[in-house]
Structure 1
Amino acid sequence: MRSCLIDKLSYLYELSQPAYLFAPEPPRRRCQDSLLIDRLDELRPLEARAHQRADDLRTLALWLERDVLSLAGPDLPTRQELFDFIVEQLRQREPEDPSRIGTMRVALQNQRNDLLAFAGVLDQKLDAIASDTAVAGHLVRATCLLHRKPTSVAFWQAWNRLHAAIDRRFHEVWTAVSQALHDTPRSSSLVENLNSRLRNCLTLRHHLDGGRAWLELLKFFVNHRRFTRSRCSGRVGKSPREAMTGEAHSHSLTLLGLGPLQPRQI
């Protein structure tokens, strides 16, 4: 039994090994070796350039992620300057791979303002915090940048320096900046969520005339339809209008002039 298992293992081992370990090597001519060496010498520079290009693109991607598109980052003009630098670096490397690098460069260049729109909103919030707390703007910005890595040793060193600079208002500024970062969305997910809710209503009504009137009716319906469920328990049974204004209103059909809602008869 043991010899049988050993034979099977040996067979599996032979199958797992490259064929050239067991097959006799065919004789090669010296001219073939020289051709392979010449071909290898031609490919090595290409390999080196490919590795260098991959390293450059990886570095640019990290800059874009951590220094430009990161929520806790510099002000909008600095982000725009860094963004333009990254796009220019991609443009210089575009001839090496136009189908991929060129496509990415064009996409970034065309969406520059949309991708960085959140930074302008965040700058306004940080300026408001600096004005409300009477703290210098660069210290508020430093508090924002401190949110990048809240677990490293450098974080606690910067925390102590910033705490000493702001003094007794440090925790107030930190809380306000944290809330500002939390309330500033970087993506278009909110718009996409609304579009997903409206898409079915819009695509199924192409045959209706008076598109503007239909949009007004749709807006009225969305604003006055009461929530049947929600993550926030205070919104259940309320319409967006009631949730925003805090004032109750009649049923949407009644508001349209169709009379009071009649009770259901059983």
Structure 2
Amino acid sequence: MFHIHQRFETLINIWARIASGVRSEREARLANPRRRCQDSLLIARLAELRSLEARAHQQAHDLRTLARWLERDVLALAGPDRATLQELFDFIVDELHQHEPEDPSRIGTMRRALQNQRDDLLAFAGVLDEKLDAIARATAVEGYLVRATCLLHRKPETSGAFWQAWNRLHAAMGRKFYDVYAAVSQAMNSTPRSSSLVENLNSRLRHCLTLRRHLNGSRAWLGLLQFFFNHRRFMRSRCSERIGKSPREAMTGHDHPHWLTLLGLGPLQPRQT
């Protein structure tokens, strides 16, 4: 989730900087007095720059709109069922495909990344659908009312719209509403949209794996990387028993020698004063 949003924001910022650069060039040409003697050339270039600036601004605006839809409507936990989310996801991919001719390399890369990861990004929706169906069967409540209770979590509790929807659902379900609301809240809290462990590992490996190109694909690099992560001690952790220990120490329960010794360089020599 984090990386796909980050890539989308990077693409938006690139096009915003393109628009800003075109505007700066246009203002610089207007401020240059030596250009006044070439009025016809200046007018033609200014018209070209205005058109390019307008297209860049529109491109950044459209991409920002698609990114907000993806974040708030498609990849949000409180949303419609998986089939509907897949249709919305495909719509965003199709819109990116229409903008792709303006920037085939960057927008095309973003479009392919979304298209290839659709099932993985929407995997949480299938899990949540099963939980909501189970709640509907257990409480003998219509499925659309359970889904509406899920969508209720999209609204802030301080808003009037939240309490209006709360009252409508309460009137439709009666006393069962409180049990349904509690069960839906628990189901949503136990359905993460991504694995924090995978995201953490991915963020650690992403930069390391890009450095292997100069090693001609040698497996020694992957072995060294595996050795590093297995023996690097945790500086901080939610589990207090892991702090100051490496993954190998945490899993085996035994201390290991210094990493230089593990690499076969012999035992550490005492410091000489």
Measured in 2, the distance between the counterparts of 1:100 and 1:141 equals 37
Measured in 1, the distance between the counterparts of 2:108 and 2:76 equals 24
Structure 1 position 200, deviation (Å): 9.2
What residue is the counterpart of 2:241 in the other structure? Answer: 229
What residue is the counterpart of 2:226 in the other structure? Answer: 203
- CA gap of 1:34–1:72, structure 2 versus 1, over 3 A, is same
Q: Output one character per residue of 1:21-67: Cα deviation in whole Å (capped at 9) or x when no partner.
A: xxxx9965754233211111112122111111111111111110111
What residue is the counterpart of 1:182 in the other structure? Answer: 189
Query: Which stretch of structure 1 is more off in the superposition, 127-136 or 29-38?
Result: 29-38
What residue is the counterpart of 1:124 in the other structure? Answer: 130
Q: Pick the aligned partner of 2:76 from 70, 89, 100.
A: 70
State yes or no: 1:133 paired with 2:139: yes
CA RMSD of aligned residues (A): 3.3
Measured in 2, the distance between the counterparts of 1:66 and 1:44 equals 33
Q: Output one character per residue of 1:137-178: Cα deviation in whole Å (capped at 9) or x when no partner.
A: 000000000001223221111111111111111111000000
What residue is the counterpart of 2:24 in the other structure? Answer: none
The residue type paired with residue 101 of structure 1 is I
Measured in 1, the distance between the counterparts of 2:40 and 2:80 equals 56
Q: Secondary structure at the match of 1:229?
A: helix
- CA gap of 1:41–1:81, structure 2 versus 1, over 3 A, is same
TM-score, with structure 2 as normaliser? 0.61
Q: Secondary structure at the match of 1:186?
A: coil
Structure 1 position 102, deviation (Å): 1.1
TM-score, with structure 1 as normaliser? 0.63
State yes or no: 1:45 paired with 2:51: yes
Identity %: 75
Measured in 1, the distance between the counterparts of 2:33 and 2:202 equals 69
> Does structure 1 retain, via aligned residues, the 8 Å contact 2:82–2:122?
yes
State yes or no: 1:59 paired with 2:71: no
Q: Which runs of 5+ in 2 are unaligned?
A: 1-30, 204-221, 228-238, 243-249, 254-273
Structure 1 position 129, deviation (Å): 0.4
Measured in 1, the distance between the counterparts of 2:40 and 2:146 equals 66
Measured in 2, the distance between the counterparts of 1:228 and 1:67 equals 37
Structure 1 position 93, deviation (Å): 0.4
Measured in 2, the distance between the counterparts of 1:127 and 1:89 equals 32
Q: Output one character per residue of 1:79-124: Cα deviation in whole Å (capped at 9) or x when no partner.
A: 0000001001001101101222111111111111000000000000
Q: Secondary structure at the match of 2:241?
A: coil
What residue is the counterpart of 1:33 in the other structure? Answer: 39
Q: How does 1:81-230 map to 2 (within 5 A)?
A: 81-150=87-156, 151-191=158-198, 203-204=226-227, 229=241
Q: Secondary structure at the match of 1:78?
A: helix
Measured in 2, the distance between the counterparts of 1:202 and 1:43 equals 49
The residue type paired with residue 52 of structure 1 is Q
Residue-pair matches, total? 188
- CA gap of 1:202–1:35, structure 2 versus 1, over 3 A, is closer
Q: Which runs of 5+ in 1 are unaligned?
A: 1-24, 205-226, 231-238, 241-251, 253-266
The residue type paired with residue 195 of structure 2 is S
Q: Secondary structure at the match of 1:74?
A: coil
Q: Looking at both structures, which has the greater relative contact order when contacts are Cα pairs under 8 Å and sequence separation is at least 6?
A: 2
